[in-house]
Amino acid sequence: MASATTSNKTNVTKLVITAMLSAVAAALQYLEFSVPLVPSFLKLDFSDIPELIGAFVLGPVAGVLICLVKNLLHCAVSLSFGIGELSNFLLGAVFAFTAGLIYKHKKTKTGALIACLAGTLAMTGISVVTNYFIVYPVYAKMFGGMDNILNLYKAILPSTDSLLKALVIFNVPFTFVKGAIDAVVTMLIYKPLSKMFTKMNNSFAKKKK
C-alpha cells in the first residue's frame, strides 16, 4: 500500500512538472524572431529547451509529450495551417527523445553533453528528410509552387536552384545552431531546475502524508 501511495505521488509530481514545462514551451514558441543569412520564414525560438529539460528530468517520452502539447496549443493561432507545428513537433520530438534516451543511461555531465550533441545531430538530419518529403511539398501546394519558395532562397544566394541545395545550405546550419543554442542553455540551467523539481517532489510527498 505504501509503495502504491509513493508511486501515485511521484506520478502526480511528474504530471505537474510536465504541465509546467509544456506551458513554458508554449509561451516561448510565441517569442520567435528572424535571423540573418536565412529566409525570413525560418524563425528562431527557444521552445525546445523545456522539452530537453523534461527529457532529462522525466525521461525521453516526457520530452516528446511536452513537444506535442506545446504544438497543439500553438495550432490555435497557427498561420501555417498546422504544417509549421507538425514540422516543429517532428524535429523537437526527435531532439528531445534522442537526448533523453542517451541521458537516461548515462546521467553524468559527459553523458549530458553527448546526449545534447546526439539530439542536435539527429534533429538536423531528420529536418532534411521531413522538409524535403513532407513540409515543403505541402507549402508548395499552398503557396503557388516550389519556385515561389526557392525564390526566397535565391534572394540570398542566387545559385540556389533546387530544394535539396536550399535545405543543405540554409536549413541544416540553421537547425544545428538552433539545437546547439538550446543545448547550451539547457546545460546551464538544468542542474538548478532539477534540484527545484526534487524539492517540489519532496514537498508534495510530505503534504500528502
pLDDT tens-digit readout, 33-92: 899 899 988 999 999 999 999 999 999 999 999 999 999 999 888 777 788 899 999 999
3-state secondary structure of 7: helix
**For residue 200, what are the contacts with CB-CB under 8 A and spacing of at least 6?**
13, 16, 17
pLDDT tens-digit readout, 89-108: 999 999 999 999 999 999 89
Q: In whole angstroms, how far apart are CA 141 and each of 89, 99, 120, 137, 147?
A: 21, 34, 30, 6, 11
Residue reference for cell 509552387: 145
pLDDT at 173: 97
pLDDT at 61: 96
Fold observed for domain 2-31+41-204: Arp2/3 complex 21 kDa subunit ARPC3 (1.10.1760)
Query: Using CA atoms, how far apart are residues 51 and 38, in angstroms rounded to an integer?
Result: 25
User: Is pLDDT of 6 > 60?
Assistant: no
What is the average pLDDT across 104-125? 95
Cα angle for residues 165, 171, 174 (degrees, 5° grid): 140
Q: The C-alpha cell of 131 is what?
A: 522538409
Domain boundaries, the chain: 2-31+41-204
Percent of the chain beyond pLDDT 70? 89
Query: Using CA atoms, how far apart are residues 133 and 127, in angstroms rounded to an integer?
Result: 10
pLDDT at 201: 58
User: Is pLDDT of 145 > 70?
Assistant: yes
Among residues 61, 128, 148, 125, which one has the least CA distance to residue 99?
61
pTM (two decimals): 0.89
| Strands, E assignment, the chain | 33-34, 43-44
Query: Using CA atoms, how far apart are residues 97 and 158, in angstroms rounded to an integer?
Result: 37
pLDDT tens-digit readout, 148-159: 999 999 999 999
